[in-house]
Chains A and B, each alone.
Chain A
Amino acid sequence: AQSVTQLDSHVSVSEGTPVLLRCNYSSSYSPSLFWYVQHPNKGLQLLLKYTSAATLVKGINGFEAEFKKSETSFHLTKPSAHMSDAAEYFCVVSRNPVIYNQGGKLIFGQGTELSVKP
Chain B
Amino acid sequence: EAQVTQNPRYLITVTGKKLTVTCSQNMNHEYMSWYRQDPGLGLRQIYYSMNVEVTDKGDVPEGYKVSRKEKRNFPLILESPSPNQTSLYFCASSPRAVSSPLHFGNGTRLTVT
**Which residues of B are found within 8 Å of A44, using beta-carbon distances?**
43, 90, 92, 102, 104
CA distance A102 to B97 in the complex (A): 10
A43/B106 in contact, CB under 8 A: yes
- Chain B: interface size category: 20 to 34
Residue in A34, A45, A97, A110 whose beta carbon sits within 8 Å of that of B97 in the complex:
A97
Residue in A9, A94, A105 whose beta carbon sits within 8 Å of that of B58 in the complex:
A105
A106/B98 in contact, CB under 8 A: yes
**Complex interface bits, A75-118 against B, C-beta within 8 A gives 1, otherwise 0:** 00000000000000010001101000011111111110000000
Which residues 24-55 of A have a CB within 8 angstroms of B?
A: 32, 34, 36, 41-46, 49, 51
A104/B99 in contact, CB under 8 A: no
B99/A43 in contact, CB under 8 A: no
- On chain A, the number of residues with a Cβ less than 8 Å from chain B's Cβ atoms is 27
A-B contact count (CB 8 A): 68
Which residues 40-59 of B have a CB within 8 angstroms of A?
A: 40-45, 48-50, 56, 58-59
Residue in B35, B59, B98 whose beta carbon sits within 8 Å of that of A32 in the complex:
B98
Residue in B4, B31, B33, B106 whose beta carbon sits within 8 Å of that of A42 in the complex:
B106
A94/B42 in contact, CB under 8 A: no
**Which residues of B are found within 8 Å of A6, using beta-carbon distances?**
42
Question: B residues touching A (Cβ–Cβ < 8 Å)?
Answer: 4, 31, 33, 35, 40-45, 48-50, 56, 58-59, 90, 92, 97-99, 101-102, 104-107
3 nearest interchain CB pairs? A43-B104, A94-B98, A104-B48
Q: Known pairs A44-B43, A44-B90, A97-B98. 18 more at Cβ < 8 A?
A: A9-B40, A36-B102, A42-B106, A43-B107, A51-B99, A94-B98, A94-B99, A95-B98, A102-B56, A104-B31, A104-B48, A104-B97, A105-B45, A105-B48, A105-B58, A108-B35, A109-B42, A110-B42
